[in-house]
Structure 1
Amino acid sequence: MLRHGLPTSLLILSLFVSGLDDPALAQEAAAVSQCQAIAQSLPSVTFARYSPDRSDASFRLAAAEDGVVRLTLLGHSTFHIETPGGISIATDYSGYHRPPRTPDVVTMNKAHSTHYTLTPGPEIKTVLHGWGEEGQPADHDVVVGDTYIRNVTTDIRSGYGAMEPDGNSIFIFEVAGLCIGHLGHLHHELDDSDYAEIGRLDVVMVPVDGGLTMGADSMGRVVNRLRSAIILPMHRPGPQVTRFLDMFGAGFDRRYSDSATITVSLRSLPSKPQIVVLQGM
């Protein structure tokens, strides 16, 4: 992940890859996060199972600004993200809430079994765990098609109230000029270093559950600090959603959708933060 740095503002770096004998994998390609507020070093990223059009010698990481991303709430914390380049991503994937086609990428968090599975199936080519191995935090910098995916780790509660370091990941999807974040099973308020790593989020998926992740007040402070253009509640429907909405004043708009899907582009982002309650919440 990018962890330090110089301001990059809205920098978008196109990646040009040609002459790949094996298009499934290209090592040591450099990408600049367009979403991070601070970045001192370029990450190394892995191209994961992407087959570009052979008639084209190159492809772009950053799609045109008018590219449209579709986000569909499948249930609980699982969203289906469909990119302009045709990449399919399922967040906090447990195998229970499945998208209409096999996703190219799934992300997972292990706080509860409803957020991960250890047997996602071999047909899913890119599986990103929000937790690390052998005491090391998860560290993802992956480009799949037109999407750059990275993570910022946070801690989770474990047995007897203790905290397990780096057990959860906030996954960030950079596509079509947009910065889209999924907070996962966030158990604590973020600090300045977390916000610096996350950077700008145009769209954020927020667990709203009355305290299974964090209390409404704490989650409200995170949302206020992120100041995303579109806020999508997830996790648990019911009265806690109403309470969450009631926490925000005139600086936020609210909208109940009659669909589980929202389409987003850089050009269509509202100028005022908008909380959109999708069908199913």
Structure 2
Amino acid sequence: MPVRARSDAQLGLTVSAAVLTTALTAVSFWLSFEALHDLATDHRLKGERAWAWPATIDTFIAIGELLILRASLLRKVDWYAIALTAAGSLGSIVLNIASVGGSTDPLDYVVAAVPPVAALLAFGVLMRQVHEYLLSRQQALTAPPVPVSTPVTPFVEHKEPEAAEEPQEADEAPVEEPVVTEEPEPVREPEKPEEPLTQRDRIDLVVRGLYESLGNRRPATRHMVTALADAGLPSSEGTARESRKRVEAAEPHLKDLPDAIAA
């Protein structure tokens, strides 16, 4: 597949995933709000106050996830944000289950617990996509500029015509220059031919090249299997994963790169 077509496919999949994740997040929060609204209505809250009360629970999830996203961009761990997200999620799950009442059907409790759990997971996935986008933008802005080389104009030295040699006088005898004998060049040993690369080295070279071709991202198993198959090398998923482990063991900084989306 050409590089342009592959890039367009990856962009389309990324946009589709973002749209679906946003829709799932909105639906999950709406269902959770609906259940918490009914619970508030059953306990003396009416009208606008009944609709505002669920925000005191589910909004903690959004606030915590945003703070976790901020901390990850700063390469830090914000335990306060994690605790805030956990408290909001657990509170929302417990209260959604409590809204069922004294039902004897276990599926009633499962149905009540799904929206808050889905809201937490969907919002986390959405923040993951935002994190990858912002990280790629940071790398593009902080990349050093490519130096532009100026054309070099060759310098031509203009030589003035040499003056005609003066004739030697009769009494001046020509000076004989000593004969210089060239020393024989030392005998050099023939260079040993380089050893051919093994199949394992060729596999590692193909996998290592994917980090640059994917824009400084960790290749997924699908990327590695496709590249190895194109190179005529063993292309099983196990071979690809073992090669990625060897490459990242030799260059540990590659583990910190964001994962590429498999097309």
The bucket for the TM-score relative to the shorter chain is under 0.3
Which is richer in strand?
A: 1
Max radius of gyration: which structure?
2
- TM-score (normalised: structure 1): 0.22
Which is richer in helix?
A: 2
- TM-score (normalised: structure 2): 0.23
